[in-house]
Amino acid sequence: MATLGHTFPFYAGPKPTFPMDTTLASIIMIFLTALATFIVILPGIRGKTRLFWLLRVVTSLFIGAAILAVNFSSEWSVGQVSTNTSYKAFSSEWISADIGLQVGLGGVNITLTGTPVQQLN
């Protein structure tokens, strides 16, 4: 146990994190830059084809950004539940736990955390 509560005196505190995934932010910025560049070029296109080019380019940029964002994001679906469950298979010991699930392209993560952490051992 640390003398200053739960912080250790010689370690720096937790670093503040960016509120958004930086990979996702960079993908969004790249595609917004491409869209702004096209909007600058758009007045050079004549007649009704201007509208068709706008629809084509905006649709293709949106589809490309969505594919890259899903590919490089860390998670697709997240779920969590608090429950009382047996400590291990065929055991009569019960614990209170939080069970979390993350499903993404990179894999599946299932987390079991006891609440409170010290229950049986």
52, part of any domain: yes
1, part of any domain: no
The tally of domains found in the chain comes to 2
Question: Which residue ranges in the chain fall short of pLDDT 50?
Answer: 1-2
The pLDDT assigned to 14 comes to 65
50, part of any domain: yes
The pLDDT assigned to 59 comes to 96
C-alpha distances in Å from residue 81, one per residue of 12, 27, 68, 86, 121: 32, 32, 30, 15, 23
The secondary structure element, H or E, covering residue 52 is helix 49-72
Amino acid identity for residue 79 in this structure: G
120, part of any domain: no
Instruction: Tell me which residue range forms the domain holding 107.
Output: 77-114
pTM for the whole thing? Answer: 0.53
Question: 67 with 93, same domain?
Answer: no
The pLDDT assigned to 112 comes to 80
66, part of any domain: yes
Return d(Cα 91, Cα 96) in angstroms, integer. Answer: 14
Question: 45 with 83, same domain?
Answer: no
Return d(Cα 68, Cα 77) in angstroms, integer. Answer: 17
8, part of any domain: no
The pLDDT assigned to 1 comes to 45
The secondary structure element, H or E, covering residue 104 is strand 94-104
Classify residue 106 by its DSSP letter.
T
CB of 107 closer than 8 Å to CB of 120: no
Question: 33 with 59, same domain?
Answer: yes
